Amino acid sequence: MSLLPYIVAVWLFLVGLYGIVTSRNFIHLVMCLAILQSSTYVFLLAVGYRIGAGPPVFANVPVGTPAVDPVVQALLLTDIVVEATVVALLLSFAVQVHRNTATLDPEKVVELEG
């Protein structure tokens, strides 16, 4: 098993985190969150992948044929649904922010502090 997907997953997580920390635009921030989440996709797929294995469809194949792990793929689908919901909700908040304050800069809409 190659180490590359894990390195990519860690890279995506960190780069997403960096983007969120330094973001000056809510839309950009939400996209960084989506990138951060895609690290979990890569990671989960890497966990379940086996070199030389086929898809986890067990019709018309001899018993014992290697297949990739279908469980992580199910987790991944759930993960995608979760991400779509969260991103949609956050984007709607961003639209509301823009409607109310005519800016998308997190620095300029700070009303709660201290």
Contacts with other proteins by CB under 8 A lie at 9, 13, 17, 20-23, 26, 29, 33, 36-37, 39-40, 43-44, 47, 71-72, 75, 78-79, 82, 85-86, 89-90, 93-94, 96-97, 100-101, 106-107, 109-114
Residue 52 Cβ, how far from other proteins at the closest point, in Å? 19
Bridge partners of residue 54, in order along the sequence:
67
Contact 55, 67 (CB under 8 A): yes
Beta carbon nearer to other proteins, 60 or 78 = 78
In 10 A of CB 44, how many CB atoms? 20
Contacts of 41 (CB under 8 A, 6+ apart): 76, 79, 80
Residue 70 Cβ, how far from other proteins at the closest point, in Å? 13
Beta carbon nearer to other proteins, 21 or 59 = 21
Distance CA 104, CA 96 (A): 10
